[in-house]
């Protein structure tokens, strides 16, 4: 039997890549011959994130030489229009420097197919284009279909992929489908969506993007916990008082009224990003980092989540009102274009959850997210219990808080450890200080964008960073009763834009004798 250090890397479908020795970092993970078919290529996500990420991958030499990118949308574009828009998107949003030769090579494989998603003739044209590109550029029958389209169109797109034969595998090639959150809007619709996808694609070919999982800082939660001896011994109910997971945004809904209204902060952020962060923070050590082992541990956490008995006391919601942000007057949610003046959609939500396990019994996890808050910050803060006894005079420890380990997901990526330290001077005064690790200072290489990592993983067929069906359904099982409870409440509390969120969220913490970390 090979030792762990000798074991070759296991890739898609359990296939072992003999070319890649895990000890040899000189060999990057490179996508095999393949083609990406991007539905909704004229949309916001494609322009800001996906097209720049594809260019960045090409620039890093991680795409195969004959890589093809086929865009599909209704707009009346020719190939050259697609390339011109993609060029602008790359110039504006790519992470790596622009290189003419890389761009030219990428462009040679870029094609556009115009059509409606419910039009069989358009899919027949798409199938012809794909076939021809595969023949001329050698995709090896390997196709990834990225559905960057409104979720209500997932059913028609998958039906057409099946009808046109595009979803059928030939000659050992693979087919993968990528979908973007939201994965349904409750448990029933998520099950329905999964059933529909499974009619055409097996679970291992479905890649659900929760782009937070592509972030270096999020993956680092596992490195921090399981590559060190320092933290894990105190990562439990004997030492941890509570955990706060925050995603605060300073922006409003922008032009996304149609998407956001009726969805709200909890479905948009807590169901996916924050519950995934919680699962990574709370899970047990997986037997390995292959997809099955990691996802199994995350699913165990999600299935042990316990909702508090009184949801009135354990949840809070709010809606931003007009206010000032960075010296600029901004309007309230109800005045935003496209939002009905009687909307009850929340733009802020906070939830207290418990985890029924030996490790976490009695340790509350507080999750909060909101728009139009005073700062943009995403972090996981593990707050430790206070020392059981302080052998100092009371006045010397007045400014001493709780020890904390804060994983700063964005911006200012890094980790902070907060602890008490003696203030220089003649008395034994103790005050909180921070010890910081910042990515920018410790590593010379810049972190890839989340979409670079995730797109590459799709093309390689490396699934650990994609939530599977079970996790999605478990997350809705947690959220559904809370949403049902809120639906009976009517209007959420208003909070001024540019502030800290609704007062009810502060009261939620105060009832437990705690407070939120300052944003
Ligand atoms: N934008 C983000 O930051 C973000 C973040 C998280 C998740 N998402 C998810 O990502 C997906 C895409 O979002 P987006 O913001 O890019 O949406 P978007 O800007 O509204 O773009 C939608 C795309 O779908 C195409 N489309 C719409 N109806 C079509 C039809 N009947 N037939 C063919 N094409 C059609 C549109 O192209 P034409 O109008 O040219 O046909 C456009 O390219 C959605 O699932 C969204 O929930 C987006």
Q: Using one digit for the tens of pLDDT, what is the confidence trace for 238-281?
A: 999 999 999 999 999 988 898 899 999 999 999 999 999 999 99
Q: If we measure between CA atoms, which residue out of 489, 458, 463, 230 comes closest to residue 349?
A: 489
91 contacts 442 by C-beta, under 8 angstroms: no
Name the pLDDT band for 12 (thresholds 50, 70, 90): very low
Q: In angstroms, what CA-CA distances link 224 with 194, 219, 231, 429, 431?
A: 33, 9, 8, 31, 26
Residue with the smallest CA separation from ligand 1 atom 3 is 45
Pull the structure tokens for residue 440.
């920018």
Q: In sequence order, what are the residues at sequence separation of 6 or more whose Cβ sits closer than 8 angstroms to the Cβ of residue 244?
A: 366, 368, 379, 380, 381, 383, 516, 517
Ligand 1 centroid to residue 41 C-alpha, Å:
8
Q: What is the pLDDT of residue 25?
A: 59
301 contacts 283 by C-beta, under 8 angstroms: yes
pLDDT in tens, 457-471: 999 999 999 999 999
**Which residue in the list 93, 273, 389, 485 is annotated as catalytic?**
273
Q: If we measure between CA atoms, which residue out of 350, 269, 365, 360 comes closest to residue 315?
A: 350
Residue carrying the six token digits 């949403």: 483
Pocket test for ligand 1, best of 37, 38, 39, 45 (most atoms within 8 A of CB): 45
Of 7-16, 112-121, 207-216, 369-378, the one with minimum mean pLDDT is: 7-16
Ligand 1 centroid to residue 212 C-alpha, Å:
19
Pull the structure tokens for residue 46.
């494609």
Does the annotation mark 273 as catalytic? Answer: yes
Name the pLDDT band for 430 (thresholds 50, 70, 90): very high
Ligand 1 centroid to residue 44 C-alpha, Å:
7
Distance CA 374, CA 324 (A): 9
Q: What is the pLDDT of residue 477?
A: 97
Distance CA 370, CA 372 (A): 7
Q: In angstroms, what CA-CA distances link 290 with 6, 22, 32, 257, 287?
A: 16, 14, 20, 38, 8
> Is pLDDT above 80 for 105?
yes
Name the pLDDT band for 215 (thresholds 50, 70, 90): very high
Name the pLDDT band for 445 (thresholds 50, 70, 90): confident
Pull the structure tokens for residue 60.
């890093």
Q: If we measure between CA atoms, which residue out of 181, 201, 174 comes closest to residue 45?
A: 181
Residue with the smallest CA separation from ligand 1 atom 41 is 74
Residues with CB under 6 A from ligand 1: 40-46, 73-75, 116-117, 148-151, 153, 180-181
Q: Which atom of ligand 1 is nearest to the CA of 119?
A: 32
493-496 and 323-325: which strand pairing? unpaired
CA 50 to chain centre: 14
Distance CA 413, CA 348 (A): 23
Of 5-19, 99-113, 220-234, 341-355, the one with minimum mean pLDDT is: 5-19
Residue with the smallest CA separation from ligand 1 atom 34 is 73
Within 254-348, residue ranges assigned H as helices are: 257-260, 264-265, 275-282, 291-303, 311-314
Pocket test for ligand 1, best of 48, 121, 149 (most atoms within 8 A of CB): 149
Pocket test for ligand 1, best of 37, 41, 43, 145 (most atoms within 8 A of CB): 43
> Is pLDDT above 60 for 283?
yes
β-sheet bridge partners, residue 408: 379, 414
Q: What is the pLDDT of residue 7?
A: 45
Q: If we measure between CA atoms, which residue out of 350, 332, 387 comes closest to residue 519?
A: 350
> Is pLDDT above 90 for 155?
yes
Residue with the smallest CA separation from ligand 1 atom 21 is 43
Ligand 1 centroid to residue 472 C-alpha, Å:
21
231 contacts 405 by C-beta, under 8 angstroms: yes
Q: How far apart are the first and last CA of the chain?
A: 51
Distance CA 378, CA 213 (A): 13
Within 365-442, residue ranges assigned H as helices are: 439-442
Q: In sequence order, what are the residues at sequence separation of 6 or more whose Cβ sits closer than 8 angstroms to the Cβ of residue 507?
A: 316
Name the pLDDT band for 27 (thresholds 50, 70, 90): low
Q: What percentage of the chain reaches a pLDDT higher than 90?
A: 86
Q: Which atom of ligand 1 is nearest to the CA of 151?
A: 45
Ligand 1 centroid to residue 174 C-alpha, Å:
25
Residue with the smallest CA separation from ligand 1 atom 27 is 149
Ligand 1 centroid to residue 148 C-alpha, Å:
5
Residue with the smallest CA separation from ligand 1 atom 8 is 180
């Amino acid at each position: 039997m090979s030792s762990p250090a000798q074991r070759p890397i296991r890739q898609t479908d359990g296939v072992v890549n003999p070319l890649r020795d895990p000890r040899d970092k000189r060999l990057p993970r490179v996508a095999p011959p393949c083609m990406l078919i991007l539905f909704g290529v004229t949309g916001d996500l494609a322009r800001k994130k996906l097209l720049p990420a594809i260019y960045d991958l090409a620039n890093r030499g991680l795409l195969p030489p004959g890589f093809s990118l086929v865009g599909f949308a209704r707009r009346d574009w020719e190939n050259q229009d697609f390339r011109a828009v993609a060029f602008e998107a790359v110039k504006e949003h790519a992470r790596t420097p622009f290189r003419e030769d890389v761009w030219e090579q990428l462009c040679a494989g870029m094609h556009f197919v115009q059509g409606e998603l419910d039009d069989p003739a358009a899919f027949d044209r798409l199938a012809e284009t794909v076939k021809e590109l595969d023949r001329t550029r050698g995709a090896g029958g390997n196709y990834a279909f990225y559905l960057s389209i409104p979720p209500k169109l997932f059913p028609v797109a998958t039906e057409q992929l099946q009808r046109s034969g595009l979803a059928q595998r030939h000659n050992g090639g693979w087919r993968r489908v990528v979908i973007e959150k939201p994965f349904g809007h409750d448990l029933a619709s998520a099950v329905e969506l999964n059933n529909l996808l499974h009619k055409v694609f097996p679970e291992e070919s479905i890649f659900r993007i929760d782009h937070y999982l592509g972030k270096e800082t999020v993956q680092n939660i596992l490195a921090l916990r399981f590559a060190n001896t320092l933290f894990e011994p105190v990562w439990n109910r004997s030492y941890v008082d509570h955990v706060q997971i925050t995603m605060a945004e300073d922006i409003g809904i922008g032009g996304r009224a149609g998407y956001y209204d009726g969805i709200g902060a909890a479905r948009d952020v807590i169901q996916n990003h924050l519950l995934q962060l919680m699962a990574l923070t709370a899970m047990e050590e997986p037997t390995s980092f292959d997809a099955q082992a990691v996802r199994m541990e995350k699913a165990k956490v999600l299935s042990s989540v316990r909702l508090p008995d009184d949801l009135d006391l354990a949840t809070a919601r709010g809606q931003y009102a007009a206010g000032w942000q960075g010296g600029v007057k901004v309007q309230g949610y109800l005045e935003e274009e496209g939002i009905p003046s009687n909307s009850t959609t929340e733009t802020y939500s906070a939830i207290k959850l418990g985890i029924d396990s030996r490790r976490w019994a009695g340790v509350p996890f507080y999750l909060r997210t909101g728009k139009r808050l005073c700062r943009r910050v995403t972090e996981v803060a593990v707050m430790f219990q206070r020392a059981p006894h302080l052998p100092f005079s009371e006045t010397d420890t007045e400014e001493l808080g709780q020890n904390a380990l804060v994983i700063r997901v964005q911006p200012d990526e890094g980790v902070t450890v907060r602890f008490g330290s003696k203030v220089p001077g003649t008395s034994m005064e103790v005050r909180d200080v921070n010890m910081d690790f910042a990515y920018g200072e410790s590593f010379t290489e810049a972190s890839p964008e989340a979409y670079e990592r995730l797109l590459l993983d799709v093309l390689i067929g490396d699934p650990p960073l994609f939530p599977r069906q079970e996790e999605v359904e478990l997350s809705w099982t947690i959220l559904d009763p809370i949403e049902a409870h809120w639906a009976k409440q009517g209007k959420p509390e208003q909070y001024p834009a540019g502030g800290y969120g609704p007062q009810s969220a502060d009261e939620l913490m105060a009832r437990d004798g705690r407070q939120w970390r300052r944003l």
